[in-house]
Amino acid sequence: MTFEKIFDTFDWEEVKQSIYSKTSSDLELALRKKGKRTLEDFKALISPAASDYLEEMAQLSHSITQKRFGKTLQMYIPLYLSNECQNICMYCGFSFDNKIARRTLNDEEILREVAVIKSMGYDHVLLVTGEANKTVGVSYLANAVQLIRPHFSNISMEVQPLEQEEYKTLISLGVYSVLVYQETYNRDSYAAYHIKGKKSNFLYRLDTPERLGRAGAHKIGLGVLIGLDDWRTDSFFSAIHLDYLEKIFWQTKYSISFPRLRPHISPASPGIIPDPAPKERGENSLMTDKELTQLICAYRIFNEEVELSLSTRESPAFRDNIIKLGITSVSAGSKTNPGGYASAPESLEQFEIHDERSPQQIASMIRAKGYEAVWKDWDSSLTPGQHAL
């Protein structure tokens, strides 16, 4: 059995209808349940019926998170190595058809970026590139990891999907976790947004987390790009994916991220600039802050172990208020352009960030709320429930 076979047993429209038909009784049963919630419970938790129970969901999510993760928040920062990309994706500033200045950092520039990031206090870095196999393939990534490894305790990666053996190579060099977002689980929408390039292969991307699991990844990050299609239905398919992976690769850790579409600058095409007023069921529009709060709480109630991450795509006010309700990691001081910290601050951003506060300001906010900022990922050598401080 593979996830593709499980995925094929679900029909998008039937799942969507099932979510929207959930009632307050379904939601109350999900909230009162003792023990692990089911996927049907998750449907209720992300349904419109749950909007009247947000306060109760928030309190339960807060209690579960504090019991499992304590009063700590992990801090991480992305390091963009390249904006080279061979894919045409309608929503991305790095899309191949955008006539922008392309840049890939060399060794000296990488180390210059590392020095700035280390000066901020970080010990956990997320390496990010576009998807260009000839420019930023495995050999480039392996070299970058070896350059960076002496400076960080934990290295994460968000790059093009790779083969199992390629992941094994990078993991052996020190990569701790890999993030790979399906973007949307709706095949038709996926095809419409991903016009050309390797990323247009829906099933290859769908299989990527399994290749990671077989390669022995310590942690796998999942998620969808919220706004490409109905967020409730997409999130349910992401939950199915998580549930499957946890059963097959039970020794691996997992995280969920919640990237909402953000405007990006492009001389050739404005891409998708989301309508700030969500449409009736969220298609091709950003969800509201209330809905994102609901989704975060739903994931925590559904899965007490999964790590939940929130980036600088979100506003300062929202991030300040959400961290107690289920989030376990946040980025701060982020740049979404290669060389953005030191080497080429003028290079094109992949998307606009929303929270521009410094890491120190975010850490101060976290302390003011009675929490502690952790500047590296959880130590894999520690027993469950213990964290590296």
Q: Is residue 381 part of a domain?
A: no
> Using CA atoms, how far apart are residues 336 and 347, in angstroms rounded to an integer?
9
Residue numbers of the domain that contains 41: 3-374
| Amino acid at site 306 | V
Residue 52 CA: distances (Å) to CA of 23, 25, 227, 281: 11, 12, 23, 17
Residue 99 pLDDT grade (very low, low, confident, very high; cuts 50, 70, 90) = confident
Closest residue by Cα to residue 221 from 281, 154, 147: 154
User: Is 386 a member of any domain?
Assistant: no
By CB neighbour count within 10 A (0-12 exposed, 13-18 middle, 19+ buried), where does 279 fall? exposed
- Tokens describing residue 99: 């006539």
Q: Which residue in the block uniquely carries the two structure tokens 């990922």?
A: 377
Contact assessment for residue 256 and residue 307, using Cβ atoms and an 8 Å cutoff: yes
Tokens found for residue 65 = 């998170």
Number of structural domains in the chain? 1
pLDDT of residue 95: 85
Residues 277, 278, 283, 285: is their CA dihedral positive or negative? positive
Q: Is residue 389 part of a domain?
A: no
Strand duo 307-310 + 253-257: pairing: parallel
Q: What is the pLDDT of residues 351-365, one digit of tens each?
A: 678 899 999 999 999
Q: Is the pLDDT of residue 281 over 60?
A: no
Does 231 or 281 have the greater pLDDT score? Answer: 231
Distance separating alpha carbons of residues 230 and 205, to the nearest angstrom: 20
pLDDT (tens digit, 9 = 90+) per residue, 294-344?
999 999 999 999 999 999 989 999 999 999 999 999 999 999 889 999 987
Residue 380 lies in a domain: no
Mean pLDDT of 234-250: 97
What DSSP designation does 175 have?
E
User: Would you state the structure tokens that stand for residue 46, as one six-digit string?
Assistant: 């992300």
Q: Is 284:229 a contact under the CB 8 Å cutoff?
A: yes
Gap between the Cα atoms of 369 and 254, Å rounded: 26
Segments of the chain assigned E as strands: 72-80, 88-89, 124-128, 154-158, 175-179, 194-196, 219-222, 253-257, 307-310, 329-331, 372-374
Parallel, antiparallel, or unpaired for β 194-196 and 88-89?
antiparallel
pLDDT of 350 = 65
User: If pLDDT is split at 50, 70 and 90, which confidence band does 101 have?
Assistant: confident
Average pLDDT of the residues of the chain: 89
Helix ranges (DSSP H) in 120-263: 138-148, 164-173, 187-193, 202-215, 231-248
- As beta bridge partners, residue 257 has 309
Q: Please state, in angstroms and as integers, the Cα–Cα distance from residue 313 to each residue in 33, 106, 261, 351, following that order.
A: 34, 27, 8, 9
379 is a domain residue: no
Rounded mean pLDDT, 2-8 = 97
CA 335 and chain centroid, separation: 16
383 lies in some domain: no
Which of left, alpha, beta for 180 (phi over 0: left; psi -120 to 50: alpha)?
A: beta
Q: Point out the least confidently predicted range of 105-109, 191-195, 295-299, 375-379.
A: 375-379
In a domain, 267, yes or no: yes
- What pLDDT does residue 348 have? 60
For residue 289, the SS3 value is helix
Q: Residue 52 is part of a domain; what is its CATH number?
A: 3.20.20.70
Q: Is residue 384 part of a domain?
A: no
Residue 381, Cβ density class (10 Å: 0-12 exposed, 13-18 middle, ≥19 buried): exposed
Instruction: Tell me what the mean pLDDT of segment 84-110 comes to.
Output: 89
- Segment 20-37, tens digit of pLDDT: 999 999 999 999 998 899
Radius of gyration of the chain measured on its C-alpha atoms: 20
231: tokens are 């967020």
Q: Which residues pair with 234 in a beta bridge?
A: none
**pLDDT at residue 93 greater than cutoff 90:** no
| 8-state DSSP, 16 | H
Looking at residue 351, its pLDDT comes to: 67
Tell me which residue of 110, 214, 104, 207 sits closest to 167, measured CA to CA.
214
